[in-house]
Amino acid sequence: MSALDRRAGWVFANDTDIAPVQFTQAPYTPWSDNHTWAAYGVPSPLIMSWPDLHFHTQFLTADNTDPRVFRRAGVTTALAAYEIADAGAAEAWTIAADVASRSAHRLDEIANRASHRIVSGDRVRPDAADTERVAARAHQELRYAALRDQHAVASVRSLIAAGDRPALDGEITALGNHLQTRAEQAAARLDLALRMTRQGDEQS
């Protein structure tokens, strides 16, 4: 990004209004058209505007769309593509570290969310089978998220020139191993919440 003209400023600086626009990163889900490309290993992020009153309805016509949304999506996509295409070893390492950091937080959130459901659900609706299902699904989600993000971290190797890869290969591998450890720690906390809930049920 440093190669861009500094005079460009903020890409939306000339907009005539201050629209409530916020770019938010959301976890990947296999429900959109981009999943087909991702299944073949092609990077395929989805950039969309939400909420959309006419999403997936017959009213989603040209007159019900906002050209500014297309412009923002186009500028964002172009800048992301430029940053990836222009990335060297230092940029690739920064991307890998950022992905790993966000992944570690996401793994913790998966375990914490499930733990809260197990504990609070046990008080509101004491159904042991339901807590078991919550725990099993969370374990599955942890395994999937950890594996997916490990692959994402490893994929930055493709951005690094062959001659520079040996210098970063160990660090990239260490990031992947760290994510596996974080997933195992998150799973252990989840199991602890489940055991404590079971003990409480037995005592009552």
| Overall domain count for the chain | 2
Query: Quick one: pLDDT at residue 73?
Result: 82
**What six digits make up the tokens of 44?**
């395929």
Query: Among 8, 191, 183, 22, which Cα is nearest to 82's?
Result: 8
Please state the pTM of the whole predicted model.
Answer: 0.70
165 — pLDDT class (breaks 50, 70, 90): confident
Residue 131 lies in a domain: yes
CATH number of the structural domain spanning residue 194: 1.10.132
Of 85, 105, 131, which one is at a domain's C-terminal end?
85
Whether residues 118 and 175 fall in one domain = yes
The range of the structural domain enclosing residue 49 comes to: 6-85
35 has a pLDDT exceeding 90 = no
Q: Give the torsion through C-alpha atoms of 90, 93, 99, 103, to 10 deg.
A: -150
Query: Quick one: pLDDT at residue 202?
Result: 59
204 — pLDDT class (breaks 50, 70, 90): low
What is the share, in percent, of the chain residues with pLDDT greater than 70? Answer: 79
CA distances from 144 to 10, 41, 86, 103, 172 (A): 37, 16, 30, 12, 19
Whether residues 11 and 60 fall in one domain = yes
187 has a pLDDT exceeding 90 = yes
Query: Quick one: pLDDT at residue 84?
Result: 85
Whether residues 129 and 148 fall in one domain = yes
Query: Quick one: pLDDT at residue 8?
Result: 44
15 has a pLDDT exceeding 60 = no
pLDDT averaged over every residue in the chain: 81
Most trustworthy range by pLDDT among 3-7, 33-37, 173-177:
173-177
Average of per-residue pLDDT across 184-197: 91
Residue 169 main-chain phi, psi, to 5 deg: -60, -45
Of 31, 53, 85, which one is at a domain's C-terminal end?
85
Of 85, 119, 152, which one is at a domain's C-terminal end?
85
Structure confidence by residue, pLDDT tens digits, 73-117: 888 888 888 888 888 888 889 999 999 999 999 999 999 999 988
Residue 1 lies in a domain: no
Whether residues 95 and 192 fall in one domain = yes
Whether residues 78 and 108 fall in one domain = no
139 has a pLDDT exceeding 90 = yes
End-to-end Cα spacing for the chain: 60
